[in-house]
Structure formats: C-alpha cells, structure tokens
Amino acid sequence: MKKTNFEIKLSNHVWFWLIWFLFNYLRWGAYFNDYKYSFKSNLLEYALHIPFVYFNILVLIPMYVLKSKYIKYTISLFATLAVIYLLKTGLTYYIITKNIWPEANRDYRPFELNHIVAVTIGEIYVLAIASSFYLMLTWIRERDRNKAILENQNKIKLKYLKNQIQPHFFFNTLNNLYALSLESSNKVPNVIIKLSNLMEYVLYDIEGTKFVPLMKEIDYIQNYIEIEKLRFENVEVNINLESDLDNITIPPLLFISLIENAFKHGGANNKNLKIKINFRVVNSKLEFEIINNFVISPPPKSKKGIGLSNTKKRIKLIFKNNFVIQQMVKFNFFIIKIQIPLYNEN
C-alpha cells in the first residue's frame, strides 16, 4: 500500500500562505484602490484555499492518484471544486458584497456558467501553484534523505572493508610471532614492540578518521615491512618518495593489503624477494606503485586473500569514478599502479 509521507516544517507552510496572501492583498488593493475590500475578499478566499489544497494533497492524492485511480480522483476533485464554489459564492454574497465579483470587468451572477468557470479555474490555479511548491519541498527533502541514506550505507561498507583488513593483518602477524617464539628467536621482543606500534595506530590514531597524513601512513607501512622482513631470509624493500608529500592525506590503511600481498605471493618459493614501492604526484594526482618479483609456480592451496579486491572496493566508494587502477605482469614482476585525487591537510 502506497502512502505519502510529507514532512515539511510548519514554518514553511505558514510563510508560504502569509507571503501569498500579502501579495494578493496588495495586488488587488492597489489595482482597485480598495484595500479594505481586498483584505476581506482574500481572507475569505484563503479560508477556502488552504483546506482545499491540503485535502487534495493529504487525502485525494494518497487515496486515488498513488493507487492509479485517476478517474475517481478527477470526479472527487471536481466534486470538491463544486463545494468550494458554493461556499465561496454564498459567503461572498452574504458577508462581503451583493456584487458577487466586483473586481471583474462585467457583472457576474451566481451559478452563471461563466462565473462557475472563472471561479473553478481560479481554484485550480491556486491548487496547482500551492501543490507544486509543496511537492517541490517534499522532493528536496526526500532527495536529501536518500542522499544521507546512501552516504550512511557507504560509510558502513567502508567500515566493513577497513575492519576486514585489521583482523586479517593481525592474524598473520601473530602467526609470525608464534613461529619466532617456537624458535626462541631473539627477534621476538622487537616484533612485539613494532606490533604494539601498529596496533596503536590502527586502534587509536585512525579511529573515526576519513583521511590521515600520507607520511604517517608511510611510517605505518615501514613498521609493517620491518615485521615482515623478520620472516624472510632474503628480502629487499625500497620505498621511494619522488615528490613533496608532506601535506597530502589519504584514507587510512588504503595500500597495506597490496603490500601484504606482495610479501605473501611474491615470497612464495622466492629466495630473493624484491619489492619496490613508489609514491609520487602525477598530473595533480597521488600515484602509488608497488612492484614485486615472483617465482612462477603452482598457486599454493590457501584461503583467498582480501588484497586488490578490497582496495578496489574502498577506492570506488571513496573516490567514485575519479581514480585509476592498473595491474600488469612484466617478465617476473607483478606491478600495481593506483592514482587517486590529491587531498591536502591545508
């Protein structure tokens, strides 16, 4: 069952009718130089206009138009117009003036066809203007509400995607820490300190923030890389900052899953893992590039990672279509390039 749910502030209704009443009062008062009659005439008319308009919007439209019962709506509308005509004509005659329409350029008689047509068209005119204004405000409100709902849904999706990264990463790191502890490695204390720094960043520094300084994110990435290096015998990682990046901000944890993938898939059966990470500004966009070598071998039987798919979803939600993602394989190197708009702190 379809229903209308018009929720417009009462003040908007009051101001609309007051302004329109004042406009017509001054218009006809000045035109005939009779402000007293204009006030009484408009007061009577608006006492009928207002209930007629809201009866149409709140009763007839939900009852018939929204249910596609257009014939019944038309019949009901003209029946209401007939009642309005009778009330307006009678009240004008007995309360205001015997001359049923003194502002007209000829004498009109009650219930004369021309008078009925003139009054009916006038009421339809008022109905059209008032209803259009009313529905326009309702449309604006519904548009804003739908926009807010969509933004809230996107926030929920983004939070879900970001939350996927955090437990995924910490699960892997704890596994690495466990493996080192079994070996009684002296690296364990260092790993715990770095893991503590990473957890502080994730749990406190970026909580509730949409963007973080790029340099702070790079510090997080470097800490992560240092932890990953502990479980690889031969790994070479280079981070190159090829532009001035001091004031640039990015969504937190945007690239970490790609770096994790470089270790996970590039390091499989690879005794000499090399990873190169580049940050640069290109054509007013931030470009992130990660390159890692790999050894061609059958894919290991493991759970499907989050990686690139997660990153693509987050970037699309945040930047809409204003981004570029490229992935390619050249010889034994896997390359991913991402370009996103620049966001400055200042």
Same domain (yes/no): 121, 197:
no
What percent of the chain is modeled with pLDDT above 70?
79
Does one domain contain both 136 and 202?
no
Please state, in angstroms and as integers, the Cα–Cα distance from residue 339 to each residue in 170, 285, 316, 328, following that order. Answer: 27, 6, 12, 15
The pLDDT tens digits for 251-303 are 888 898 899 888 888 877 778 899 999 999 998 899 999 999 988 765 444 44
pTM value is: 0.56
pLDDT of residue 10: 77
pLDDT digits (tens, 9 = 90+) for 237-253: 999 999 889 899 998 88
- What is d(CA 25, CA 38) in angstroms, rounded to the nearest whole number? 5
Residue 158 lies in a domain: no
Those residues with Cβ within 8 angstroms of residue 199's Cβ, 6 or more apart along the chain or in another chain: 170
Residue 308 lies in a domain: yes
pLDDT tens sequence across 102-117: 555 556 566 677 777 8
Mean pLDDT over 129-134 rounds to 80
Residue 47 tokens, joined? 């006492």
pLDDT tens, residue by residue, 52-72: 888 888 888 888 888 888 899
d(CA 186, CA 234): 18
Let me know whether 57 and 206 are in one domain.
no
Q: Which pLDDT band, with edges at 50, 70 and 90, does 187 fall under? A: confident
Determine the structural domain holding residue 131 and report its residue range. 10-146
Does any domain span residue 68? yes
> For residue range 15-45, what is the model confidence (pLDDT) as tens digits?
888 887 887 778 767 776 767 767 877 777 7
Higher pLDDT, 210 or 156: 210
Do 329 and 267 reside in the same domain of the chain?
Answer: yes
Look up residue 104 and give its DSSP letter. Answer: S
User: Looking at residue 57, what DSSP letter applies?
Assistant: I
Look at residue 151 and tell me if it is in a domain. no
Strands of 333-341's sheet in order across:
235-241, 273-282, 285-293, 333-341, 324-330
Do 311 and 199 belong to one domain? Answer: yes
Q: What is the mean pLDDT of residues 190-213?
A: 81
Which residues neighbour 292 within 8 Å (Cβ) at sequence distance 6 or greater?
A: 262, 265, 266, 273, 274, 275, 276, 333, 334
Cβ-proximal residues to 255 (8 Å cutoff; 6+ apart), any chain: 217, 221, 288, 290, 311, 338
Residues 80 and 142 occupy one common structural domain: yes
Residue 340 has pLDDT above 90, yes or no: yes
| In a shared domain, residues 63 and 196 | no
Q: Domain boundary at 81, 114, 146, which?
A: 146
Mean pLDDT (whole number) for 161-181: 67
More confident residue, 264 or 333: 333
Cα-Cα-Cα-Cα torsion 253, 257, 260, 261, nearest 10 degrees, comes to: -160
Q: Answer yes or no: do 191 and 133 share one domain.
A: no
The SS3 call for residue 326 is: strand
Q: What single-letter DSSP state applies at residue 85?
A: H
153 domain-assigned: no
Give residues with Cβ within 8 angstroms of 336, minimum separation 6. 258, 289, 290, 308, 325, 326, 327
Do 73 and 65 contact (CB within 8 A), yes or no? yes
339: confidence class by pLDDT, cuts 50, 70, 90: very high
Q: Does the residue 122 lie in any domain?
A: yes
Specify whether 124 is located in the same domain as 19: yes
Tell me what pLDDT residue 331 has. 84
Contact indicator for 249, 212 with CB cutoff of 8 Å: yes
Q: Give start and end residues of each alpha helix (H) in the chain.
A: 10-32, 35-55, 61-63, 70-91, 113-182, 188-200, 214-229, 256-266, 307-319
For a pLDDT cut of 90, what percent of the chain falls above it?
A: 16
120 occurs within a structural domain: yes
User: At which of 115, 146, 177 does a domain end?
Assistant: 146
In angstroms, rounded to a whole number, what is the distance separating the alpha carbons of residues 191 and 233? 16
42, exposed or middle or buried, with CB in 10 Å at 0-12, 13-18, 19+?
buried
Residue 223 belongs to a domain: yes
pLDDT on residue 4: 42
Q: What is the pLDDT, as a whole number, of residue 13?
A: 76
Confidence of residue 304 (pLDDT cuts 50, 70, 90): very low
pLDDT at 49: 82
333 shares its domain with 245? yes
Contact 69/12 with Cβ under 8 angstroms? no
pLDDT score recorded for residue 172: 67
Residue 318 sits in a domain of what CATH number? 3.30.565.10
Query: For position 45, what pLDDT does the model report?
Result: 79
Alpha-carbon gap, residue 60 to 159, rounded angstroms: 44
Q: State the pLDDT confidence band at 96, using cuts at 50, 70 and 90.
A: low
Say yes or no to pLDDT of 182 above 90.
no
Task: Pick 277 or 317 by higher pLDDT.
Answer: 277
Is the confidence at residue 305, as pLDDT, over 50? no
Number of domains in the chain: 2
